[in-house]
Amino acid sequence: MKPVCLVIGAGAGIGGTVGKRFAKEGYHAVLCRRTDQAGLDKLVDAIESEGGSASGFLMNAIAADSIEERVAQVEADVGPIEVAIYNLGAQIGDRSLDNTSAKAFEMGWRLGTLGLFRLAKAACPYMVERGGGTLIVTSATAAVRGNAGQHSHAAAMGGRRLLCQTLNAELSPRNIHVAHVVVDGSVDAPDTLGKMLGAERFQALRDTKGAEDGLMLPERIADTYWHIAGQHRSVWTHELDLRSFSDLPWWNH
């Protein structure tokens, strides 16, 4: 039975690409996303066509018990969740206080903070029981500073970051690696930009102009997620930042 890499938030960007990478390295990828059965099927097919193993589930992560039931089902029927990736975003664009409803603020928290708590609470006891595991959390600039119009997003991501620290404090001594990845830039979206340009031109863009324009390539982000998951437990990284060479770090804007 293959070890499982569970991805919460497996679109065509970071989440799906990280799932692909872990599948390529021998994991069974369990890919969860809210909508787009066709996109999900395509992702699973792509993994299987390369000889990998994957399952896809449409899942509304903010629905009661959704994450909890998925974790239980995977552990029961698919395999041990050795790696969990929490990749749900909570960005809703810049909105003034007046234009940020309490509902939008709560939605940010449900996606940005509570969902991670629920995933950790559901999946980590299995990891503790088995003596180890990895939880990688995709995060954002808004986790380290609040900017204008980011009331919902920054509150949610600021909570996410410190939750990662409390999880690490409890779980690291139990051999569970918790990592908080600050994605400080715009991630390249192959499904949209790639289709527009066609494969060849798109690849050229990504190799050169893409990064020069500050686009971050999901495949390369996946390299770092894979590296984190493989770090020896004597040298674990809890937090790192990622951005394009051509982009200003958040502290230099």
Q: Return all residues near 19 (Cβ < 8 A) that are at least 6 apart.
A: 5, 7, 10, 29, 30, 31, 43, 47, 54, 85
Least separation in angstroms between residue 12's CB and its own copies is 16
Per CB under 8 A, 227 contacts its own copies: yes
Is residue 139 a contact point for its own copies (CB under 8 A)? no
Query: Could you give the angle at the alpha carbon of 248 between the alpha carbons of 193 and 141, nearest 5°?
Result: 75
Smaller CB separation from its own copies, 103 or 198 = 103
Look up residue 252 and give its two tokens: 């230099």
Question: Which residue, 117 or 202, has its beta carbon nearer to its own copies?
Answer: 117
Per CB under 8 A, contacts with its own copies among 4-63 are: none
Using the rule CB under 8 A, is 74 a contact of its own copies?
A: no
| Cα distance between residue 183 and residue 241, in whole Å | 6
Nearest approach, Cβ of residue 4 and its own copies (Å): 20
Task: Candidates 12, 135, 155, 229: give the one binding its own copies (CB under 8 A).
Answer: 155
Nearest alpha carbon to residue 62 among 132, 117, 18: 117
Instruction: Compare residues 59 and 215 and give the one whose CB is closer to its own copies.
Output: 215
Residues in contact with its own copies, shown as a per-residue x/- string from 91 to 130 under the rule CB under 8 A: -----xxx-x-x--xx--x---xx--xx-xx--xx-----
**Binding segment (CB under 8 A) for its own copies, from list 3-11, 35-43, 190-198, 244-252:** 244-252
> Min. distance of Cβ 110 from its own copies in angstroms?
10
Contact 132, 175 (CB under 8 A): yes
Backbone φ and ψ for 204, nearest 5 degrees, come out as -60, -45
**In this chain, which of 5, 83, 88, 157 binds its own copies, going by CB under 8 A?**
157
Min dist CB 53 to its own copies, Å, is: 26
What DSSP string describes 33-83?
ESS-HHHHHHHHHHHHHTT-EEEEEE--TTSTTHHHHHHHHHHHHT--EEE
How many residues sit close enough to its own copies to count as binding (CB under 8 A)?
Answer: 82
Name the packing angle between helices 115-130 and 66-77 (round to 10°): 30
Give residues 161-220 in contact with its own copies (rule: CB under 8 A): 161-173, 175, 177, 188, 206, 210-211, 215-217, 220
Does residue 97 sit in helix, strand or coil? coil
The smaller minimum CB distance to its own copies, of residues 56 and 139, is found at 139
